[in-house]
Amino acid sequence: MRKVSILLVLGLMVLAVAGCGGEEQALEDTQIIIGLQAEPTTLDPAQLTDYNSSRAAMEMYDSLIRFKDGSTELEPGLATEWEISDDGLEYTFKLRQGVKFHDGTPFDADAVKFNIDRQIDPEHPYHDTGEFGYADFTFGMVEEVVVVDAETVKIILNEPFAPFLGNMAMNSASMVSPEAIKEYGKDISQNPVGTGPFKFVSWNPGVEVILEKNEDCWRGAPNVDRLIFRPIVEDQTRLTELEAGNIDFIVGIPPDDLERLKDDADLQVVEQPGMHTWYVALNCQRPPFNDVRVRQAVNYAINKEAIVDNILKGTGVLAKNILPPVIWSYTDDVQDYSYNPEKARELLKEAGYDESMTIDFYVPKSGSGMQQPVTMATAIQSDLEAVGIKTNIQQLEWGTYLDKMFQPVDKSDVLMHELSWLGDNGDPDNFLYILLSGEQWPTNGFNEGFYKNPEVDKLLKEARIISDQDKRVELYQQAQKLIMADSPLVVVDHETQIVAMKKKIKGFELHPTGVFRFDKVSIE
């Protein structure tokens, strides 16, 4: 009897060990497959300009300062502490010790200087390794980066700049391995090396980007072993793949399906008001949109409320201003462009608009933050035609679309196009200056409608260099009134961030900047 008992105990021990082994194997295989709206254009943080690329890339990187989970409040990142000189011109950062890039090379003050100088110094030997659309906005005020010692770096500005610390938490301020840049050159976009919680495995264009967890991450290893990002352009296809169990997480929920997804016991939907604005940009430097009356007519002609109610169906809120209501200094005391086709016709007649012309209206087939781009464009086209403005919708794939939109003014033939913007740092400067300052025409920045108003430029410039937030609010509100009166954009809505995912994914939280953070997520 005793022998049987011993054998039974041994058998149970074997089963227990087998069970533990099975659990370990399951943990080793944990992964999340994310359906994106379009193919990433780059995985180099210095070159990121869109949602999809940022969402696929940013889990590989860290910056000196980082945004806290769920907010744009700041906390230490690769810098443990920092000091600002009394005149606001010198920022001294103490760096975290013992951090290594994924290629095993050390993160130190030399790496910080290399990353910033690479973007802002045309004479830097690796300046030609990319196109840095955010460089002027993020670091345009940087005079010099000084290596004090291996663990201390000083950034000297040429003038005070109120949002600078927030900028240092943006994607473009992330640290890339200098040795990797030297090795790969321009191909660093396809061979990314950071210090973040996930590291690069492979990128099969049109198919997937694969990341695996960084066991040596200074923030601690993630719970999930693998992230797979798949570009699936069609919203309905992406949704079908989620419901079929082929992917675990999607963005760009078709509005008609949102309520049904919320009722699905196998899924969860996460929502958050976004720092987002969807708009139509008009080329202010070329006829017919160099006439403010024509731009205003376009604004009055479009039934924005119908688009929000009938197409977006609760996935966005009607916009009255380029600045989202969730960002401080927002005001709705601006010129109102409620649907008024009669007013649009009056303005067009006053401007002598030539109704025989047809304007190419550029639209992406899909893209980050673009919601329902083709459907929305079709509605806009119909509204404009009703007041005598004929348009021809031109659809392009996302990467090609961005290349065409962000051309210098003398090379751009685009008169009208859709775009959206998601705030990077929670500061109004990140909307108003980068999108509407006359200093931010491509390729310096993202004012791709080539709007310029000297009075607006003066207000935005002053608001950047003072630290008194009450005064900044006053300046930004004056600028918003002037901008909306000039009508360089047709602002339609502010998108609500919405993702749907399998119930097994635990601990995921949306971030106001729109990037995804999976480092604390687990799978049940």
455 phi/psi in degrees, rounded to 5: -70, -40
Looking at residue 369, its pLDDT comes to 80
DSSP per-residue string spanning 418-476: EEEEE-SSS-THHHHHHHH-GGG-TTTSS-TT----HHHHHHHHHHHH---HHHHHHHH
Return the SS3 of 61.
coil
Q: Write the Ramachandran bin of 329: left for phi over 0, alpha for psi from -120 to 50, otherwise beta.
A: left
DSSP state of 109: H
In this prediction, residue 415 has a pLDDT band, given cuts at 50, 70 and 90, of very high
Give pLDDT tens digits for 297-354.
999 999 999 999 999 997 999 999 999 998 999 999 999 999 999 999 999 999 999 9
Which residues are CB-neighbours of 225 under 8 A, at least 6 positions away?
27, 28, 29, 30, 31, 212, 213
Which burial class, exposed, middle or buried, applies to 442 when counting CB atoms under 10 A from its CB (0-12, 13-18, 19+)?
middle
The pair of structure tokens assigned to 163 is 């949002």
d(C-alpha 351, C-alpha 349), whole Å: 5
In a 3-state reduction of DSSP, which class is residue 315?
A: coil
> Residue 233 in 3-state DSSP?
coil
Tens digit of pLDDT for each residue in 61-118? 999 999 999 888 999 999 999 999 999 999 999 999 999 999 999 999 999 999 999 9
Average pLDDT over residues 277-285: 98
Mean pLDDT of 439-448: 91
Over residues 447-469, mean pLDDT: 95
Cα–Cα separations (whole angstroms), residue 140 to 61, 233, 273, 387: 22, 35, 30, 43
Q: Are 218 and 195 in contact (CB under 8 A)?
A: yes
User: Contact, 168 vs 63, CB < 8 A?
Assistant: yes
Residue 367's pLDDT is 79
Q: How many Cβ atoms sit within 10 Å of the Cβ of residue 227?
A: 26
Cβ–Cβ under 8 Å, residues 142 and 127: no
- Check: CB of residue 295 under 8 Å from CB of residue 359: no
Cis preceding linkage at 195, omega within 30? no
The reported pLDDT for the residue numbered 490 is 98
- In this structure, the number of other CB atoms found within 10 A of the CB of residue 471 comes to 12
The SS3 of residue 274 is coil
pLDDT reported for residue 375: 96
Distances (CA, A) of 17 to 24, 30, 392, 507: 10, 20, 67, 29
Which token pair is 297?
């007519």
| Residue 1 reports pLDDT greater than 90 | no
Give 332-347 pLDDT, tens digit per residue: 999 999 999 999 999 9
Confidence of residue 27 (pLDDT cuts 50, 70, 90): very low
User: Does pLDDT of 17 surpass 50?
Assistant: no
Helix axes 373-386 and 292-301, enclosed angle (nearest 10): 110
- How many other CB atoms are found less than 10 A from the CB of residue 32? 22
Whether the Cβ atoms of residue 231 and residue 50 lie closer than 8 Å to each other: no
pLDDT band at 28 (very low <50, low <70, confident <90, very high): low
Task: Give pLDDT, residue 171.
Answer: 94
| The pLDDT value given to residue 146 | 98
How does pLDDT run across 223-279, given as a tens digit for each residue?
Answer: 999 999 999 999 999 999 999 999 999 998 889 999 999 999 999 999 988 899 999
Per-residue pLDDT at 181 exceeds 60: yes
Q: Compute the average pLDDT of residues 122-150.
A: 94
User: Rounded to whole angstroms, what are the CA distances from 357 to 132, 284, 344, 413?
Assistant: 36, 17, 17, 15
pTM of the full structure: 0.80
pLDDT at 8: 38
Once rounded to an integer, what is the mean pLDDT over residues 436-461?
A: 95
Mean pLDDT computed over every residue of the chain = 92
Q: Which of 60, 104, 55, 33 is nearest to 198 (CA)?
A: 60
Residue 440 is predicted with a pLDDT of 93
Specify the DSSP element, H or E, that contains 460: helix 454-465
